[in-house]
Chain A
C-alpha cells in the first residue's frame, strides 16, 4: 500500500528543532488546533483526541482528500486523561454527583468516532488497543481493508498521551529513568528505564500508486513469540526475504532504541552482524517511549524517503545514507516481542 499523506503531532517538530520536554519526559508540541477544531470544542476535547484530530487533518490535507473511506486507529492506553478524571471523581466522591463528560470521552474509540463525526465519514471504523502493536494491528487491518476494497483510501493512525497519573505509575514500574537525562544523552546512558513520551501520527493509505504517493508501505510484521537475539535476527532475515530484499539492499535501519539497557540489548546482535555496514537511526530520543511510537517513526521515515534526506538528529551510527530507498523500522519490546515495518521509495 502507498502512503498519500502524513500528519504528525509530536514532541519534535523536525530538523533544527529541539524536542519539547516537561520535567523529565517528552510532551507534544501543540499545533494550532483552531485550524481544524472550533474553539468551544478545543476547550472540551482531551489532549489525546485533539492531537489525533489534528494529525488526521494534516494527513488528509497532504493527501488532498476530504473524506476517507475508512478510519482505523491504534491506541494502547486510549483516553487516559478522561479515564483518570472519571476514576478519580468516582473514588473520591464515593460514586456520587458524577458528570457524564469524562466517561463519554474515556472510551477507547473516542478518537476514531470524533474523526468520523467531524468528517461525516460513515465508512468502516475500527480501533485496536493492543499495547506496542496497536498501531501495527491497525496497519494490518488497513491492508486487509484495501485488499477487499482496492480503490479505497484509508485514514490510519495512532495516538497516546502521557498524564501525571500514568507517568507516576510507569515510573514506579521502572519504565523511566530514576535520574533524569537530556534527550541527547538518552540513547547512550546504558541504565534501566527510558523517558516517557507521547504523540499522534496519521496516514492516508491506498492500494494504488499515483502522483501523490509519498512512499510505499511494503511490509508489516508483528512477532508474538518471545525471541532471543538469534531468533530475532532470523525473523528479520525471513521478513526481508518475504519482501524480496537482502539485508544489504536496505538504505537505513531505524531501531526503537530507548536508552533502557534491557530493551536496547535486543538490537545489538543484528546491528553488529547483518546490519554492520548500514547507517542506523533512532527516534525515541525525539518523541520518548510510548506504545504507539512506531507510528512517529513511520512518519519521519516516509518523509526521509520522500525528500531523500535524513534529518541529522535521527542518525544514531554510521554515515548518512547517500540514497534512501528501503527503510526497515524495528521496534523490539520489553517483553521480547518485535514489530517490523518496511518502507520503500516509490
Chain B
C-alpha cells in the first residue's frame, strides 16, 4: 500500500486563461474573467456576467485536436488533461498503470440543449450525435480514450464538490495500489440549463461577484476544466513533485437539498476531518482556498465554520471564484490545481471585488497577489448541493 499521494503536474482552462500560466498571470494582474456572454446563446446574455472560456468550440476543437462535434465539456476536459499530463513530465502514458477520474455535472448538456430544440417539435428529429454523449460518464470515456487511459475510468457528480471528490477517489485508487498514476479533476461547460437553473434559485449576481463581502449578492457562473496528475510514492521518487495531497474528507450537511446550514455543520466536519487525515493542526494551515461562491448563504456558513475551527488563527484566505466564476463540478478541480501550485511556487491568490467586511465573521479575504511565501500546508474547500461538503489539504513538508 502506497502511503503517499503526490502531485506531479496540473492543467487548467478557465475564464481567466487557456492554460495554468495564463490563469496565474490573471491573478497577478487582478483581471477577473467575468464578461458579457459571448459564446453561450441565452436571453440572459446582458443580465448576468459569466466567466466563459474565451474561445469558440471550433478553436477549442483545434486546441484539443478533436472533432468540432464534441461537447464543449469534453473539449475543455481534453485540453486541461493534456496540459496536466504534459507538465507532469511523465512521458509515455502507456508506461504506467493509469486512471482517469473526472467530475461533471452537465456532461454533454450543451449539445442536448441543441438536440431538444428539434426533438421537442417532433420526437423523430434531432441529430442523435448531439445526444449520445449526454451522460457525464460518456464525456469521461471520450477523453480517456483520447488520452490513452485504459486501466481505470470513472466519473463523479456531487454538484459543486464533484471535483474535490474526484481527487479523493483518485487518491484511494493509488493508496490501495490499484494504480500508479491518476489524472483527476473535472470539467463543466456553461449551459443554458445551469444558467437558468441558478437563475430560478435567484442566486446569480448581475455584477461581478464579491465573495466574503458584506454586500455580496450572489455568484457568477463560469466554465472550465482542471486536472492534477496524482502519483504514488514510487513514481514520486523519480520526479520532482509539486506537493502531496496529504488530507481529504467529505461530510454531509444533512440540512437542505440546496442551502447550507447557518452554522456550516458539514463544512466544519469536512475541514476538521481533512486536518486529522493530514495529521496537522488548524494552526498549521498557511492558506485556505475558499469555496466562496459569493452567495449570502454559502459565505456566511463557510465563514462561521472556519471561525469555529480556526479560532483566532485565521490564515490568509481567498475565493478564486471571484476570478473564474463558479465552474460547478470543475471548481473543486480548478481550486485544487491553484492550491497545489500555490505550494509549488510560494504564491497566494487575491480575492477580487472585496470592499466591505462581513459583519457576521471576524476575518476578511486576502485582496492582493503575494509571492515569495513560505507555505507548508494549503486547504481547499468545495461545498455543493445535497449537503455535499469536501475539503482537501496539500502539503509541502518534504
Q: Chain A interface (Cβ within 8 Å of chain B)?
A: 71, 76-78, 83, 86-88, 90-92, 94-96, 98-100, 103-110, 112-114, 116-117, 119-131, 133-134, 137, 141, 144, 147-148, 165, 168-169, 172-173, 222, 224-225, 335
Contact = CB atoms under 8 A, between A and B. Distances in A.
Nearest to B253: A122
B363 interface: no
A337 to B, nearest CB: 9
Among B42, B199, B200, B266, find the residue whose CB has the most chain A CB atoms closer than 10 A. B200
Nearest to B258: A104
Interface stretch (B12-20, B130-138, B292-300, B365-373): B130-138
B252 A113 contact: yes
Contacts of B42: 95
Interface of B: 42-44, 104-105, 107, 112-113, 116-117, 119-120, 123-124, 128, 131-132, 135-138, 140-141, 144, 149-159, 165, 168-169, 172-173, 175-176, 192-193, 196-197, 199-201, 249-258, 265-266, 269, 384-388
A165 B124 CA distance: 11
Given A91-B117, A128-B154, A222-B152, A134 B137 contact: yes
Nearest to A101: B200
A224 B150 contact: yes
Contacts of A109: 157-159, 384-386, 388
Contacts of A104: 197, 201, 257-258, 385
A86 B257 contact: no
A114 B23 CA distance: 37
A90 B200 CA distance: 11
Contacts of B258: 104
Given A109-B385, A126-B169, 14 more contacts: A86-B196, A90-B192, A100-B200, A103-B201, A104-B201, A104-B257, A109-B159, A122-B265, A122-B266, A128-B156, A129-B104, A141-B172, A165-B119, A224-B150
A107 B137 contact: no
B21 to A, nearest CB: 32
Contacts of A91: 113, 116-117, 120
Nearest to B255: A117
Contacts of B140: 130
Nearest to A226: B150
B387 A113 contact: yes
Contacts of B128: 169, 172-173
A125 B150 contact: no
Contact of B196 (A71, A98, A148, A222): A98
B135 A122 contact: no
B120 A92 contact: yes
B366 to A, nearest CB: 30
A144 B177 CA distance: 11
Given A95-B43, A129-B155, A121 B197 contact: no
Contacts of A105: 257
A250 to B, nearest CB: 24
B200 A103 contact: yes
Contact of A124 (B136, B150, B250): B250
Nearest to A111: B386
Looking at A120, A122, A173, the one whose CB has the most chain B CB atoms below 10 A away is A122
